[in-house]
Amino acid sequence: MSDSIDTHADVIIVGAGIAGLVAACELGDRGKRVILLDQEPAQFLGGQAHWSLGGLFMIDTPEQRRMGITDSHDLARRDWMGSAQFDRAGDDWPKQWARAYLDFAASEMRPWLHEMGMRWFPIVGWAERGGSGAEGHGNSVPRFHVTWGTGPGVVAPFATRLQAHVAAGRVICRFRHQVSHIIVQAGEVKGVSGEVLAADSAPQGAKTNRQEIGEFEVYAPSVIVASGGIGGNLDLVRKNWPRDRLGAPPENMVAGVPFHVDGRMIPIAEAAGGHVINGDRMWHYTEGLRNWDPIWPNHGIRILPGPSSMWFDALGNRLQAPCLPGFDTLATLKEILKTGYDYSWFVLSQKIIEKEFALSGSEQNPDLTSGKWLEVIRARLMSRGGAPAPVEAFKKHGQDFVVADTLAELVEGMNRIAEVPLEETHLRRQIEARDAQVDNPFAKDAQVIAINAARNYRGDRLIRTAKPHRILERKNGPLIAVRLNILTRKTLGGLQTNLDSQMVGADGTAVPGLFAVGEAAGFGGGGYHGYNALEGTFLGGCLFSGRQAGRSDLIA
Ligand SMILES: Cc1cc2nc3c(=O)[nH]c(=O)nc-3n(C[C@H](O)[C@H](O)[C@H](O)COP(=O)(O)OP(=O)(O)OC[C@H]3O[C@@H](n4cnc5c(N)ncnc54)[C@H](O)[C@@H]3O)c2cc1C
């Protein structure tokens, strides 16, 4: 090929997040020439994955077995299908992707990643427990494998592989290149065009400028869209909000993802023949804190709660099962919004915060992110009299936290940041009723039953679930209340694709030369989660769909 290596390649990838990186590495391994474009600067390599906790959904692993967990492909399939609740005519590709991912997660996934040097924290996390029946949503067993080194630990092996391909001249990276158009002529994909943005030395994850200083065009017969979802664009989130299922969208939300998760590339892909399905399926959390030390605009941090905090809606009414901490994200979101307010409350004791509060994100878990055992032991097992340092920092500086010695003082503090005042007597009655349930290892209260069940899992008993105790008893205090905001995160729908990650148009036929991977493709197929996610399946889907595209024979 005589065309300039700078402008002509076999494949163009739009987006240097984890999905784009995986595709680039796999293509590079096959000797393909790749141009990898990203609107952000080089220091943003890895996109959202850098900020992630690095949790991966895998099935029947040595980590699970060592923790006494019996998992199987069949159980995981039941859990996935019970959660996805696929019910649309257009769910054909998403369903095929779900099955293919389950096969991958139960077989090749771990050895492939292990071979690249990835390792996992030995205590497997139990996310999205469901709580509404064996055929409903949720993980029957713990499957959330936190990567050693968290998000950066997921990005690192691929960044290393990428570097080798760059050094060998197989992959060219172009940062600050914002794609605005996919060039299609006579039905054939020819390349992409867009604007070169001004250099920006912003720290990773911060908002960068959009000043255009030039234009560019690059050419290839195949283009892979790896541009992420829409969670950083709250207007788009509201526009796509499933009003029929969840009611009106929240007025106030915090952003759980950086500004670059802007959704801008999706209509550009549609204009070239792509087709978005399940745009109304999304995954936003109900335990968002306003970050006291923000990196990106309106930065929210999610609490990954253990099961013991009492959960009240804005009116002070306790949420009922399955709306328990860590059980059923979307059912809880629906219940919270039913009140007409877009926030809710955790009420807990110091004992609960010490053992059960974790925050999502690599920067909120410096011990796990460091990849050093000593750090982990110091932070998690030796921090007597306090929660891990990042949680304590939120307790101290976070505007959503109230700490008090008595319930009267607590409610007074809550009312200072509430939109609707709470009554102490109403809260007291509910907490006292719950407290009266904890003296036996059995109870009738659904949450107390769930706490006791959680402690049957060694991992939860060790680091995630406080011994049941009376929240109002002084010795367990001080009392803590946390105002929880809705936090945007994942886009479950996306560009429809077949199992080669090739886009499938509105008429159901494959679009030659156009591919989509990662969150842009709803993690595969245009929405392989269906309505609900089991967690760890976002990074998992990026790894899998990027690999499928990178290994596809359809990319010549
Ligand atoms: C705090 C946090 C914690 C998380 N924890 C977990 C977890 O533990 N487990 C899990 O499974 N998932 C987790 N996730 C979700 C997961 O990290 C993301 O879903 C995943 O990384 C998305 O990867 P991606 O490559 O599809 O997109 P992104 O990471 O969003 O990358 C897309 C890239 O495309 C670029 N781009 C977009 N449009 C254009 C354009 N027009 N031109 C050029 N470039 C463009 C963007 O700048 C960006 O770099 C977490 C996410 C966050 C933010």
Using CB distances shorter than 6 Å, the residues near ligand 1 are 14-20, 37-40, 44, 47-49, 51-55, 178-179, 226-228, 256-257, 260-261, 264-265, 360-361, 490, 518-520, 536-540, 542
Could you report the per-residue pLDDT of 294-323, keeping only the tens digit for each?
999 999 999 999 999 999 999 999 999 999
Give me the pLDDT at residue 466, please.
Answer: 95
Mean pLDDT, range 216-242, rounded to an integer: 97
Pocket perturbation via mutation, ligand 1, pick of 329, 538, 545 by most ligand atoms within 8 A of CB: 538
> In the 3-class helix/strand/coil scheme, how is 308-335 assigned residue by residue?
CCEEEECCCCECCCCCCCCCCHHHHHHH
Query: What pLDDT shows up at residue 383?
Result: 65
Mean of the pLDDT values across residues 181-201? 97
**Ligand 1, atom 6, residue with closest C-alpha:** 52
Confidence check: pLDDT of 440 > 90: yes
Give 376's pLDDT tier (boundaries 50, 70, 90): confident
Hey, which bits of 198-326 come out as E strands? 212-219, 222-225, 254-255, 276-277, 282-290, 300-304, 310-313
Q: How far is CA 100 from the centre of its chain?
A: 20
Q: Which residue has the tokens 């080669």?
A: 500
Q: Which of 272, 318, 556 is nearest to 434 (CA)?
A: 318
Instruction: Give the per-residue pLDDT at 223.
Output: 98
CA nearest 12: which of 131, 249, 190, 195? 190
**CB atoms inside a 10 Å sphere around CB 65:** 12
Distance of CA 224 from the midpoint of ligand 1 (Å): 15
Comparing 110-124, 138-152, 317-331, 382-396, the range with the smallest average pLDDT is 382-396
Q: What is the pLDDT of residue 385?
A: 67
Q: What is the mean pLDDT of the chain?
A: 96
Q: Give the mean pLDDT of 16-20.
A: 98
**pLDDT (average), residues 417-446:** 97
Does residue 1 register a pLDDT over 50? no
How many Å lie between the centroid of ligand 1 and the Cα of residue 423?
42
CA of 228 to the centre of ligand 1 (A): 5
For position 384, what pLDDT does the model report? 62
Residue 241's pLDDT band (cuts 50, 70, 90): very high
CA 294 to each of CA 83, 232, 255: distance values in angstroms, whole numbers, following the listed order? 33, 14, 10
Whole-number pLDDT of residue 379? 80
- Rounded mean pLDDT, 466-475: 96
* pLDDT at site 5: 67
Q: Which atom of ligand 1 is nearest to the CA of 490?
A: 19
pLDDT (0 to 100) of residue 3: 59
Cα end-to-end span (Å), the chain = 14
* Residue 417 pLDDT > 90: yes
User: What is the reported pLDDT for 2?
Assistant: 45
Which conformational region is residue 555 in: left (phi greater than 0), alpha (psi within -120 to 50 degrees), or beta?
beta
What does residue 462 show for φ and ψ, rounded to 5 degrees?
-70, -50
Percent of the chain scoring above 90 in pLDDT: 91
* pLDDT > 70 in the chain, percent: 99
Atom nearest to 48 CA in ligand 1: 29
pLDDT at 293 over 80: yes
Cβ atoms of residues 14 and 168 within 8 Å = no
Q: Indicate the pLDDT class of residue 445, thresholds 50, 70 and 90.
A: very high
Candidate of 216, 230, 535, 539 to mutate for ligand 1, largest count of ligand atoms within 8 Å of Cβ:
539
Give pLDDT, residue 358. Answer: 87
Tell me the helices (H) and strands (E) count for the chain, helix number first. Answer: 19, 21
- State yes or no: pLDDT of 82 exceeds 90: yes
Instruction: State the pLDDT at residue 378.
Output: 80
Reply yes or no on whether the pLDDT at 529 is more than 70: yes
Give mean pLDDT, residues 152-178: 98
